[in-house]
Copies of this chain bind each other. A is one copy, B any other.
Amino acid sequence: MKKITTLPHEKVRLTGGFWQAKRELGREVTLPAIRDRFLETGRFASLDFNHPDPHIFWDSDIAKWIEAAAYLLEDRRDAEIEEFIDGCVRKIALHQRPDGYFNIHFDTKEPAARFTRYTDHELYDLGHLIEAAVAYKRATGKRELMDICVRYVDLVDRVFRVEHSAAFDTPGHEEIELALYKLYQETGEERFLTLMRYFIDTRGTSPRDKTYDVFGTNRYSQAHLPVREQTTAEGHSVRAMYLYCGMADLAWEDGDEELLRACETLFDNTVNRRMYVTGGIGSSHVGEAFTFDFDLMNRTAYAETCASLGLALFARRLLRTKPRGLYADIAELALYNGSLSGLSLSGDSFFYENPLEIQPAVLAHNRVYAKARDEMPIPERVKVFSCSCCPPNLLRVIGSVGDFAFGEDGETLYSHLFMDCEAETRFGRVAETTKYPFEGSVEYRLPDGAERFTLAVRLPAWAEEGYTLTLNGGLLDICPEDGYLYVTRAWKAEDVLRLEMPFAARLVEANPAVHEDCGRVAVMRGPIVYCAEEVDNGRFVKDIALDREAAFTPEWSEELGAPILRTTGTRRVWPAGNPLYSARKAQRAHTEIVLIPYACFANRGVSEMTVWLLEK
């Protein structure tokens, strides 16, 4: 495998554009909003260990908020936020047990039950605390939280790996694995890598863990098989993604080709068989889980925000092993669509589930008759959830989105996801300017006096026909290799490499095995999936049909902060009297159609919505 390293976000300074705006909104609105909600709901107060009923994953909510704050503080410190976090850390230090243990729920409510609950979230909580600690240390230099984590990890190492004195061998909710890798990377301490390897290699092999396998619990936790033998994405989709991230980290670190093959197989099954066109994954609310190949219902789509984020994180790790365009395409698809749909345009409201169709009538009925129909996602974002994992998760990924920009190895700088930035690469400073994802050109200004190296510019699969690559205005005749355009030369100061991608709206179809989408198309433009909302198009959006040869005209929407698409189509002229059934008259009336980016849906009240559209 290749050994490409990620250029960390600390070295990728956003200079404007889409992600800088999201990051600013994150700092100004989302970060304080989540803190306020977590204060109101007692999450932060639960650090005093006197809350009557702290939830088993409140530690992780707090940790993800700290991690997000750390990323957002990196380039602009904030004394008030830091003091708030330092206060949290002081409380954590105060309540950490002498042996290193720390968990709000277990130590407040039932200390004797520590490490006895396979499906509860202790090590998941610790994993997020580690990620927060590493981020906070890197942003501020403060290492208290990391030291706390190290003490706790040493306890976990003893209990799980050495003594086997916990009630189970691998955690029911993964996360600790990838976190241990971060701790190893930050500290260089081999023992964290050893523990990570232990958890990954033990998963699916432990007879003790099998004793918890009631109602498919092992499959739910990806412990139904040794990880190297897993070939299909199973169980809880967020757990799956976090495990796969850890596996990919370990495969890269150890040069473990067998483990990498497992990662590749699981990635391919996920994205080629079990992923919504929005990059959403985990189609069923039952177990927040994958179901089976091609089972992608729109109206009941679970497609948790965290799962989509997890898919992006997994894809980014695979990019370290191979510059495969698909990895970047999927990371981008999941970020721009199924992940960002989790955040309101106002920055303070959130989706947990991200359906591809909204029918308010069904939702209204479900409010009256709980579960009288299928479990349905909510039609409007809310400020906080009882299980509020998604909001800070999304914010921490926005805060560190620079991680997706570049990879590098000895000879090559890989440009993965496009964003306005200045990057401090090993080859020197590279400036990237783009209006992506709303326009299709990207310009790179190469380092002043750089040596000879290769700039590998990703070319999305949908851009393979009709792109142009120019150097200082002169066309380069370079064909993509597995989704990357390799340009090798001794760069001169102020060399400008420019990629121009075809950016017309395009139509996408789903496999015939996705029964519900048969006869329908999705509209995409660049990496953005579009949808039709009732607020723009009137009722019965599933009945409007795009004209088969219609043009799509982009038009900037101030309200949405994104281009909408105007096009034309038809809708049925239904007989007077509004009968339930009628002889097919095939009578259709011309209609103007407005499509908006999927991630922008549900920002203008409760409204019908559909991603998959008819075409006549």
Contact = CB atoms under 8 A, between A and B. Distances in A.
Nearest to A610: B515
B519 A519 contact: yes
Interface stretch (A70-78, A79-87, A199-207, A292-300): A292-300
A548 B586 contact: yes
A236 to B, nearest CB: 12
20 contacts: A272-B579, A284-B372, A287-B369, A287-B372, A291-B372, A292-B365, A359-B515, A361-B513, A508-B583, A511-B578, A511-B579, A511-B581, A512-B539, A512-B540, A512-B543, A512-B571, A516-B542, A518-B543, A518-B614, A519-B519
Interface in A540-563: 540, 542-543, 545, 548
Contacts of A373: 284, 286, 291, 295, 297
Contact of A362 (B295, B508, B574): B295
Given A359-B515, A369-B286, A372-B289, A583 B506 contact: yes
Given A275-B580, A580-B272, A572 B294 contact: no
A512 B374 contact: no
Given A365-B292, A372-B287, A373-B284, A519 B507 contact: no
Interface of A: 216, 271-273, 275, 277, 284, 286-287, 289, 291-292, 294-295, 297, 300, 357, 359, 361-362, 365, 369, 371-374, 462, 506-516, 518-522, 539-540, 542-543, 545, 548, 571-572, 574, 578-586, 614-615
Contacts of A273: 580
Contact of A372 (B286, B572, B582): B286
Contacts of A286: 369, 371-373
Contacts of A580: 271-273, 275, 294, 510-511, 514
A59 B372 CA distance: 29
A295 B373 CA distance: 10
Contacts of A371: 286
B614 A507 contact: no
Contacts of A520: 519
What are the 8 closest A-B residue pairs judged by CB atoms, nearest first? A507-B584, A512-B540, A512-B543, A518-B543, A519-B614, A515-B542, A518-B542, A286-B372
Given A216-B369, A286-B372, A543-B519, A572 B291 contact: no
A286 B14 CA distance: 52
Contacts of A581: 277, 508-511, 522
A3 to B, nearest CB: 29
Nearest to A277: B581
A295 B366 CA distance: 12
Nearest to A219: B369
A294 to B, nearest CB: 7
A297 B516 CA distance: 12
Contacts of A292: 361, 365
A569 to B, nearest CB: 12
Contact of A361 (B271, B294, B545, B584): B294
Nearest to A523: B584
Given A286-B369, A372-B291, A519-B519, A508 B540 contact: no
Nearest to A571: B512
Nearest to A300: B374
A359 B277 CA distance: 21
B545 A519 contact: yes
A357 to B, nearest CB: 8
Contacts of A540: 512-513, 515, 518
A586 B271 CA distance: 23
Nearest to A289: B372
A574 B571 CA distance: 27
Nearest to A461: B583
A462 B583 contact: yes
